[in-house]
Amino acid sequence: MTANIISGSLIFAAALLFGGLGGMLSERAGVINLGIEGFMISGAFFSAVGAYYAESAGLGGLSPFIGLLTAFICTAIFSGMHALATLKYKADHVISGVVINLLAANVTFFLVKLLFDGAAETPRLTNMFSKISIPFLSDVPIIGKALFRSYPTTYIAFAAVLLIGFVFFKTSLGLRLRGVGENPGSIDTAGINVMKIKFWAVMMSGSIASLGGATIVLTTNGNFSFNTIAGQGYIAIAAVILGRWNPYGVLSGALLFGFAQAIKDQIQILDFASSIPTEVFYMLPYLVTLLALIFTGRKTRAPKALGIHYDASVR
């Protein structure tokens, strides 16, 4: 059971990790991104559709990768809307994000009906990601199976943490990106195009978050319906805050919330749990999120220029 919980934690954490990394990217560039939920919905939808058509075209085991790619590209365009609204048209970041969420939920629901003859969900995929074992490491007793036998998306998510961590802290691009979220005026006077950095950060933010939605569809769910994401985007944002806008912090936040979800599934199997309504267990991840935020709230420090429209003429 321990192995199951650990392995489950990682799988749930992967989706939250993509969402969290995406959210962090945008927010470190100073743009609040509450649209993570919407981008994850978009990712789930496009991955289901992309993988389904790839499957129909006879691509077999390759089709989940096509799904992943479809989600990434299509959501980049979608998150371009958030970038345009907040950067070019100076819309309120929070409102734009909320609208993204509502739009994603309703448009995808409509498109599913349109594409699949009025069905409420996409057809079940036959080719999903399957777990792969890492040679030798997966043979270690207990933790081997728990840690080194998982879906490709889990590995991609963890690799993304390292990659983003490297870019953030070891390259000049990362230095500039972090600077933009703190004091764009300083970046501007150093001769760097502030808007360009912000725009790309928001685009990539949506794309990376979309992989979280795709992960859920292509590993555990097998198709897309209106409640596939069910608030995981918001939990991902909580992981960003809990992780203090740091990629490694986001990782620990995602692991904590992933653990809360995994334990929910495992506890239900135990004897004493039969007397407790299942709804209580379903509340668990959200309760853990709330508690975690309460206990760390005072110590968090958001990027200084977060949510502020940059206007070069107001120096």
Partner 1 sequence: MEQKRVEKVLELKHITKKFGNFVANDDVSLTVRRGEIHALLGENGAGKSTLMNVVFGMYQPEEGSISVYENETKIENPNHAIHLGIGMVHQHFKLIENFTVTENIIIGMEPKDGIRLNMKAAVKEVQNISEKYGLKVDPNSKIEDLPVGMQQKVEILKCLYRGANLLIFDEPTAVLTPDEIGELLQVMQKLVAEGKSIILITHKLNEIMKVADKCTIIRKGKYIATVDIKDSNKEELAEMMIGKNISREIDKEAYNPKQNVLEIKNLTMLSSSKKKVLNNINLTVAAGEIVGIAGVDGNGQMELAEAIIKMRDFEEGDILINGVSQKDKSTREIYESGVSYVPADRHKHGLVLENDIAENLILIEYYKEKYNQGIKLNKALMYEEARAAMKNYDVRAENEYTIVRGMSGGNQQKVILSREISRDPELLIIVQPTRGLDIGAIDFIHRQVVRLRDKGVAVLLISFELEEILTLSDRIDIIFDGQIVGQTKPTETNDRELGLMMAGKGSGDE
- What distance in Å separates the CA atoms of residue 2 and residue 21, rounded to the nearest whole number? 27
The single residue among 58, 135, 141, 191 that binds partner 1, judged by CB under 8 A, is 191
The single residue among 84, 94, 175, 267 that binds partner 1, judged by CB under 8 A, is 175
The single residue among 2, 171, 227, 278 that binds partner 1, judged by CB under 8 A, is 171
Part in contact with partner 1 (CB under 8 A); list of ranges 41-49, 83-91, 174-182, 267-275: 174-182
User: What minimum distance in Å lies between the beta carbon of 250 and partner 1?
Assistant: 18
Alpha helices in 57-83 (DSSP H): 63-83
- What distance in Å separates the CA atoms of residue 305 and residue 32, rounded to the nearest whole number? 10
Of residues 65-84, those binding partner 1 (CB under 8 A): none
Token pair 């309504």 is found at 277
Burial of 270 (0-12, 13-18, 19+ CB in 10 A): exposed
User: What minimum distance in Å lies between the beta carbon of 186 and partner 1?
Assistant: 4
Token reading at 191 = 């001769």
- What distance in Å separates the CA atoms of residue 46 and residue 69, rounded to the nearest whole number? 9
User: What minimum distance in Å lies between the beta carbon of 225 and partner 1?
Assistant: 42
∠ CA 180-184-187, nearest 5°, is: 80
Of residues 286-305, those binding partner 1 (CB under 8 A): 301, 304
| Nearer Cβ to partner 1 (275/313) | 313
Part in contact with partner 1 (CB under 8 A); list of ranges 79-87, 129-137, 184-192, 201-209: 184-192
H-helix or E-strand containing 199? helix 194-215
Q: What share of the chain is helix, strand, coil (3-state, %, to 5)?
A: 75, 0, 25
User: What minimum distance in Å lies between the beta carbon of 94 and partner 1?
Assistant: 22
Does position 183 interact with partner 1 (CB under 8 A)? The reply is yes
Does position 179 interact with partner 1 (CB under 8 A)? The reply is yes
Burial of 25 (0-12, 13-18, 19+ CB in 10 A): buried
User: What minimum distance in Å lies between the beta carbon of 199 and partner 1?
Assistant: 18
- By CB under 8 A, the count of residues binding partner 1 is 19
Which residues make up the interface to partner 1 (CB under 8 A)?
A: 170-172, 174-176, 178-179, 182-183, 185-187, 189-192, 301, 304
